A and B are shown apart, each in its own frame.
Chain A
Amino acid sequence: MATMLGQAEAAPEPASEQLPEITGRSPWALAARRLWRNRIAMASLVLFLLIVVVCLAAPLYAHDIAHVNPFVNNLNGTTIVNGKKVPLMQQGGGVLHLGETPIGPTWDLRHYFLGADAQGRDVAARLLYGGRSSLGIGIGSAVICCFIATVVALIAGYFGRAVDAVLSRLMDLVWAFPVYLLAISISTVLLTSANGLQVGPLHIAASSLWLPTLIIALIYLPYVYRPVRGHVLAATEKEFVEAAVSQGASDLRVIFSDILPNVVSVVIVLLPLMIATTILTESALSYLSVGVQPPNASWGTIISDGQDLLYTRPWVAIAPGIMIVLVVLSLNVLGDGVRDALDPRARLRVEE
């Protein structure tokens, strides 16, 4: 399909005096060009990459600019505001003027830019470290999910019959299970167990970031599997598969060199949207305390930490939320752009 469209667009222009050299362009190159021309999609890609880079630089910021360790209590610490030394935890504050309130945003990148949380830790530094976990889990689980779902869909769609029936019913079962409830069940059991998950030689500690990553990848498998399997089924019916089989190509060869290239665009369209979904899911699970575990932070856990400080120091909870909105929004816009670029007909169907 993409190939046909590619040929249509690469068709030579009406004959002129000097025929320019016609260069063949692959459908991928054409799609990339279409995406490149989509300014809004490119802007969101830039925004997304910018946030990724800034979050990757978290240790740099914490060590060299803010000079803080955002993972240890710092209740007796001090910082500098307008050249004066002030304690991080201030007496009074709150409605009753009792107890201690952490310092609010100083808007000074070197000294507690976004203030401190209830344990005197630098919120800005935690925000960046939290971004590493959130983005890592989001991207990691989406990639793992897409990979496994595609492999299963290729096997089910190509071999059909009993294999397809069993695998598809299995996926239907996970699909029927409400995502959050499934994730919560698995997470609680694994988090409460003393030594994490132990499958054969593989051991994952309860505090490891791999745990939420794998759980989120698992619960979204059917959401990728279903559309990909549909396309595998359609491709398997095509004549070129019959031709390959009649030439004596092995199953593996047919799957990888004839079917996979025809469904990989579906996966690529789904990927950014899946990352957006998995980042939202990770934040929700972490907010409910069954996602990322301390000492690690993620945007979800920071929002959860900020809940108690909401009325006195709202930035603790608001800042990570803004980061989530920016990332998810940019991924959604990018996802729409990728879809339009790879499958212009989808847009034509709607926009004509």
Chain B
Amino acid sequence: MAIATFKIWRGNASGGKFVDYTTEVEAGMVVLDAVHRIQASQANDMAVRWNCKAGKCGSCSAEINGRPRLMCMTRLSEIPLDQPITVEPMHTFPKIKDLVTDVSWNYRVKERIKKFAPKPALADGTWRMQQADIDRVQEFRKCIECFLCQDVCHVLRDHDLHDEFIGPRFLLYNAALEMNPMDTENRLGDLKDSGGIGYCNITKCCTKVCPEEIKITDNAIIPLKERVVDEFYDPLRRLFRVFS
């Protein structure tokens, strides 16, 4: 059994501070286990959001040693224990209490995105699609909405452009709809304007933090950027559309 020190951010919307907690840790523990142990033994009033402890609910998003991660999927064996481990709430969202942030902005953004608009059903009253056509979309459907990608995105995190940029999570969501072979809606104008896809400068931070290992930048954002180029920035395509 080893001893580890955790510097956990304690506070609320009006401010806070890092508080040091020293606790025993054992083989196989994850950061969330240690936080729970501290909560149970030293800080009963510490707020932490969690649910499945299996990396599937996306609730326990936090920043561990400065890296956005799920607390339940971060093994202590991956972290050097000879120095304090910092645990902070996500920077991009308003703080509620301690490690809990208000992520409701994401739900408001999602409401603005044009919904799935299916093609008319086939003569037999059904819709059919090929697996090959839906492979791309299924990768995007792995998203657990932990919002770590939103947290790490510097456009939101450092530049606070929440009103102008929907963030990687919702570019991914748009990609899932746009690439769906059954969908008929066109979201490219929204992506260019209110979605602010041009703000993304392809740093791939969102891809690096995704716990589901979705290739957000390569498979969703860049393909969407290319579709936006097709629609708005490619002069030959625009000319072709004029004469066709």
Q: Do A and B come from one complex?
A: no
Which residues in B have some Cβ–Cβ distance to A below 8 Å? Answer: none
Q: Give chain A's interface residues, CB within 8 Å of chain B.
A: none
